[in-house]
């Protein structure tokens, strides 16, 4: 049997956004995204769970030090997005619609190069308690 273990670290950030695809007309955007397209933004308390899969190090008993993982998440993700307007204040969503799906993929791509290649990474992002996503599925 595989000795692989998954470890999870939960962090959070608060951000404003609106859903809007600049390639579509305003009418299409309003029809597709409804309230989420309102022009002056709304916001969320995003709960971010980072899942790292690997074998535990026999010396430490850790797959990865979760405090270290927490620092990486804070440095790469929380400082970038916390208390920001995703559409206006970030490079990542200047031309990309900040749906929960797209935010999860962006976070994956930001964290992946910061972790050793022996790890498998998954991102779980709660936009609200009732709407959440996981990448890769």
> Which residues are catalytic, by number?
36, 83, 127
Taking every pair of C-alpha atoms in the chain, what is the biggest distance, in angstroms?
Answer: 59
Q: Within positions 64 to 103, which residues make up the interface with a second copy, using CB under 8 A?
A: 65-67, 70, 82-85, 88-89, 96-102
CB atoms within 10 A of CB 124: 17
Q: Pairing mode, if any, of strands 42-54 and 120-126?
A: antiparallel
Task: Confirm or reject binding of residue 119 to a second copy (CB under 8 A).
Answer: no
Sequence-separated (6 or more) residues with CB below 8 Å from residue 74 = 11
Task: Confirm or reject binding of residue 9 to a second copy (CB under 8 A).
Answer: yes
Binding site for a second copy (CB under 8 A): 1-12, 14-17, 19, 21, 23-24, 32-36, 38, 40-45, 53, 56, 59-63, 65-67, 70, 82-85, 88-89, 96-102, 104-105, 120, 128-137
């Amino acid at each position: 049997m595989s000795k692989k273990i998954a470890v999870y670290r939960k962090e959070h950030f608060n951000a404003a956004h609106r859903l809007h695809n600049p390639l579509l007309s305003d009418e299409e955007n309003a029809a597709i995204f409804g309230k989420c397209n309102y022009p002056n933004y709304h916001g969320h308390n995003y709960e971010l769970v980072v899942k790292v899969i690997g074998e535990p190090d026999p010396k430490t008993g850790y797959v990865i030090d979760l405090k270290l993982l927490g620092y990486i998440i804070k440095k790469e993700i929380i400082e970038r997005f916390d208390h920001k307007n995703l559409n206006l204040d970030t490079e990542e969503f200047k031309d990309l619609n900040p749906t929960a799906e797209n935010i999860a993929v962006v976070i994956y791509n930001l964290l992946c190069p910061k972790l050793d290649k022996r790890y498998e990474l998954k991102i779980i992002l709660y936009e609200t308690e009732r709407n959440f996503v996981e990448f890769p599925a």
